[in-house]
Structure 1
Amino acid sequence: MKIIFYSYSGVHSAVVAGAAYLGLWSAQEAASLQFSGIPFFGCQESKSELRYLGNDKQGNQVYTLGVKGEMELVPRAIQDFLQLMEIPAQDLIMINTNLFINRMSRWGERLARYGLIKTGNFLARQGLKKDFPLLFKEVKKMLKRQGVLT
């Protein structure tokens, strides 16, 4: 199975959620704003690309993706492609991390995306520090509903 965490930029809330899910990052690191250990965090070279973060304990592959303003279109297009290729839809879980972040995080993602990288990354870090508990709680809930977590 493949799990894709997606957000506006794909290099902020999506990588934080993916890294936390994989156990690469903790709530303590979020509280202290230690984002340097998160793969791809704030990385502008790979925006809008599907990025592999690693495998979870069950062997599921975990990715992140930036979708810009196409929060509904991109997942729908991917699901349609799977159907067209006769790949079972249950082999893919897509989680929109933008649903669980505040305005500061959203603005940070957008500003970084449009070239104000330092300001955007700063705002995203500040926002994600506050967002992390809800973000991780909701991600775990969604993965439990899908049968990935028990």
Structure 2
Amino acid sequence: MKIIFLGHNPLQAALIAANLYLGKGPTQKLPEGLNTVPYQDMLFSPIYIGSDNKGNQVYTLGGGKDLWMVKRSIEDLLNILGIEEGNLMVAPVSTSWDRVLGWLSHIPPPLGGRHLNLLARRILWLFQHRVLQELVKQVKP
């Protein structure tokens, strides 16, 4: 089975939730390679995070503003293609911090936007675990 943690973008809450699900978190370190991949290359493609102890592959995916619409679209596409529901699970994850990071991402780089976004991403990684742990507990393949 493939499990997709669907967030507003694949690098914030979805990434933390995927790592918590895999038992890699909470940790103070960002996943390796997170800052080396061009951001625009990750926005609308699934990012493979790892496999759980049952062999389920775990991904993150950025879905933009309307996560429930994206989730439903993926599920409808599975039905159209005749793929069984048990092969893919889409778990939307969203928290109030996502809005803050979304707002910070609109600050132009000359005004410190990139640095503020990286700082906010680190703060998110450190302090948002409780909320995401509750969401991750609901994911049962």
- Report the TM-score, using the length of structure 2 for normalisation: 0.80
Q: Structure 1 59/81 Cα, relative in aligned 2: closer, same or farther at 3 Å?
A: same
Equivalents in 2 of 1:113, 1:2: separation in Å? 32
Q: Structure 1 9/114 Cα, relative in aligned 2: closer, same or farther at 3 Å?
A: farther
Identity %: 25
Alignment match of 2:128 (pick from 119, 126, 131): 131
Aligned length: 135
Quote the RMSD (CA, aligned, Å): 2.4
Equivalents in 2 of 1:39, 1:121: separation in Å? 14
Q: Structure 1 46/78 Cα, relative in aligned 2: closer, same or farther at 3 Å?
A: same
Q: Which residue of 1 aligns with 2:19?
A: 19
Residue 78 (1) aligns with residue 67 (2): no
Structure 1 residues without counterparts, runs of 5 or longer: none
Greater length-normalized contact order (CA 8 Å, ≥ 6 residues apart): 2
2:55 counterpart SS class: coil
Residue 63 (1) aligns with residue 59 (2): yes
The answer as to whether partners of 1:15 and 1:38 remain within 8 angstroms in 2 is: no
Structure 2 residues without counterparts, runs of 5 or longer: none
Equivalents in 2 of 1:41, 1:17: separation in Å? 18
Q: Which residue of 2 aligns with 1:87?
A: 83
2:9 counterpart SS class: coil
Q: Structure 1 121/114 Cα, relative in aligned 2: closer, same or farther at 3 Å?
A: same
Equivalents in 1 of 2:107, 2:64: separation in Å? 11
